[in-house]
Amino acid sequence: YPFWDIDHYRHQFRIARSYGFNHVRLHSWTPPEPFWQAADELGMLVQTELPNWSEFYRADDTEPPADVQHFMMNELEQIVAALNLHPSGVMFSNGNELISPEGHHHLIELNARGKELDPTRLFTDNTGFGQLPAPSRTVDYFIQSCNWHPPKKIYDAAPNDTTEDFSAITALSDRPVIGHEHGQFTMYVRPSEAQKYTGALRPSWLESIEETFAAKIISPERVEEFIQASGMHMVRTYKENIERARRTRGLAGLQLLDIRDFPGQGHATTGILDMFWDSKGLIEPDTFSDFTGAVASLMRAASPTFWNGATIDVDLEVSNFGREALTDGTLNWELIALDGTTHLSGPMAIPVAPVGELTALGHLAIAVPSDSQPRAWELAARVGAFSNHWHLWTFPYPERDAGRGIGSRILNLRSALPKADFGDNYGGTFLRIDGKFREMMNPALKVALSDRLSLRLLQYLQDGGKVWLMPDAEQLY
């Protein structure tokens, strides 16, 4: 049963607010009264849902069972009546991932009844499924996955190209669109969490992982390295995925799967918090809220990497959903080296940024050293009280003998690795699945680059070779 303690929900909402969130989606359920009292008190915007995650509404030409439709209508009427005095209950959905692209007329009937009972709330037919444009779905707003709704693909979620956004999806709708279960990036498992389960729930998934570590002889120190590296990657991926949403004109908001890990379907380590609402130490709340808060400075760049001696070229924007327009007139930027010293900085005149808009602020072209030293940078931007930062890198141009000792079947690396061995016929034959094995016995070969695994590549690893695996999107599934 859910908690019936207002302090329990106050604690959760305060944590969510500290990370920049003002909205909570209830996945196919409606919680008890103390939840709503806490949400009202702390100003959360809540979407509640019918207890519906079924297949009954998948096809519009198929009738759901009469008792199911009757139950859903009765639940809707009771929920709307119960939430009448709670201003936090601003949104209502008939359930999770219910429909095919065309929607279902019985879900529209439920929405119509809800609107009749309380026209002050916003209603949608389901959370997550369907496809835009959807003129027959007479709802107040849509909740669609930005990560895979056509024309986007799942691997468009957070690549290095930060010029991208989800406007190709929002352009299909004449009503507000909210991103569905945004993100869902994962990190390495943290077996030490097992000791926190002192109640009725037994973390059997962590026990099996411990057995795997023992079988593979992976030390606790090595596990901690995996945790830190994968956690950093997850946070940076979330940052780009959320900023990609903030860079999208017409996107009304987004819903993460959760900011915590999710053990409901195995063990999904998708959270910056663990299951107990405790931080994993990956990112501080105020830093996370730099890109999730009401106002967020944003950057567009074709790549986070640049050549030495060239310029770092970026466009800056601001997403303003705060209480008032930003009228400061100045953005202050700073390019910071890895040791914390400032390489270059300056002010940039910017236009007024109205409320509810994405505003282009201007272009930066920052000169970087032309020596042979690779460098990591942090670009920081501040508009008034709101700041954000991004990781960038600069590298020297490849030397003439770059790639010596490398064998590769990835042809588009040839310009960067002119001395690499790309096979007998510039086709990467020495790493082809049907290729000969003898080429891999070359003692001059120091590392093999490949976009896919093969038996010969695995044998090369087994024999002590080094492999850098760089699969493209099609090879990930």
For residue 160, what pLDDT band results from cuts at 50, 70 and 90?
A: confident
Q: Based on the fold, state whether residues 215 and 276 are members of the same structural domain.
A: yes
| Portion of the chain with pLDDT greater than 70, in percent | 94
Look up the CATH number of the domain holding residue 348: 2.60.40.1930
Cβ-contact 405, 418 below 8 angstroms: no
In the block, tokens 């990835």 appear at 410
Q: Based on the fold, state whether residues 262 and 313 are members of the same structural domain.
A: no
| Portion of the chain with pLDDT greater than 90, in percent | 73
1 domain residue, yes or no: no
Tally of domains within the chain = 3
338 domain residue, yes or no: yes
370 domain residue, yes or no: yes
- DSSP codes, 403-454: TTTEEE--GGGTTT-TTSB--TTSS-GGGSTTS-SGGGG-TT--EEEESS--
- The first and second tokens of residue 77, run together, are 């009427």
Q: Which helix (H) or strand (E) holds 289?
A: helix 285-292
pLDDT score of 436: 44
Answer yes or no: is pLDDT of 267 > 70: yes
CB-count burial class (<10 Å; 0-12, 13-18, 19+) for 342: exposed
400 domain residue, yes or no: no
For residue 234, what pLDDT band results from cuts at 50, 70 and 90?
A: very high
Cβ-contact 36, 79 below 8 angstroms: no
Asked which of 37-46, 251-260, 335-344, 428-437 is least confident by mean pLDDT, the reply is 428-437
d(CA 84, CA 304): 49
147 domain residue, yes or no: yes
**What's this model's pTM, rounded to 2 decimal places?**
0.88
Answer yes or no: is pLDDT of 5 > 70: yes
Asked which of 16-20, 84-88, 292-296, 429-433 is least confident by mean pLDDT, the reply is 429-433
CB count in 10 Å sphere of residue 304: 20
Q: Based on the fold, state whether residues 440 and 456 are members of the same structural domain.
A: yes
Q: Based on the fold, state whether residues 138 and 247 are members of the same structural domain.
A: yes
- Stretch 89-97: mean pLDDT: 98
220 domain residue, yes or no: yes
Q: What is the largest CA-CA distance in the chain?
A: 78
For residue 415, what pLDDT band results from cuts at 50, 70 and 90?
A: confident
pLDDT score of 325: 97
d(CA 91, CA 206): 36
Look up the CATH number of the domain holding residue 152: 3.20.20.80
Q: Based on the fold, state whether residues 258 and 371 are members of the same structural domain.
A: no
- Stretch 383-398: mean pLDDT: 94
Q: Based on the fold, state whether residues 287 and 299 are members of the same structural domain.
A: no
**Collapsing DSSP states into helix, strand and coil, what is residue 108?**
helix
Task: Give the residue from 344, 360, 395 where a domain finishes.
Answer: 395
Answer yes or no: is pLDDT of 151 > 50: yes
Query: Per-residue pLDDT tens for 168-213?
Result: 999 999 999 999 999 889 999 999 999 999 999 888 888 888 888 8
d(CA 282, CA 188): 12
Answer yes or no: is pLDDT of 440 > 70: no
Cα 6 to chain centroid, rounded: 30
Answer yes or no: is pLDDT of 165 > 80: yes
Task: Give the residue from 371, 395, 419 where a domain finishes.
Answer: 395
Tell me the residue range of the domain where 472 lies: 406-476
Cβ-contact 94, 50 below 8 angstroms: yes
Beta strands in 73-194 (DSSP E): 89-93, 122-124, 142-144, 177-182
Query: How large is the C-alpha radius of gyration of the chain?
Result: 26
Q: Based on the fold, state whether residues 154 and 215 are members of the same structural domain.
A: yes
Q: Based on the fold, state whether residues 178 and 302 are members of the same structural domain.
A: no
For residue 343, what pLDDT band results from cuts at 50, 70 and 90?
A: very high
- Stretch 336-343: mean pLDDT: 96
- Stretch 296-316: mean pLDDT: 96
d(CA 67, CA 73): 10
Beta strands in 153-281 (DSSP E): 177-182, 251-256
Q: Based on the fold, state whether residues 325 and 307 are members of the same structural domain.
A: yes
pLDDT score of 476: 67
Q: Based on the fold, state whether residues 56 and 70 are members of the same structural domain.
A: yes
Which of 302, 314, 313, 316 shows the shortest CA–CA distance to 353?
316
Q: Which helix (H) or strand (E) holds 8?
A: helix 6-18
Asked which of 40-54, 80-94, 415-429 is least confident by mean pLDDT, the reply is 415-429
Task: Give the residue from 254, 274, 292 where a domain finishes.
Answer: 292
320, β-bridge pairs: 295, 357
- Stretch 235-258: mean pLDDT: 96
For residue 427, what pLDDT band results from cuts at 50, 70 and 90?
A: very low
Q: Based on the fold, state whether residues 106 and 255 are members of the same structural domain.
A: yes
401 domain residue, yes or no: no
Q: What is the mean pLDDT of the chain?
A: 91
Q: Based on the fold, state whether residues 118 and 129 are members of the same structural domain.
A: yes
In the block, tokens 């930027």 appear at 333
200 domain residue, yes or no: yes
Which of 284, 285, 278 shows the shortest CA–CA distance to 196?
278
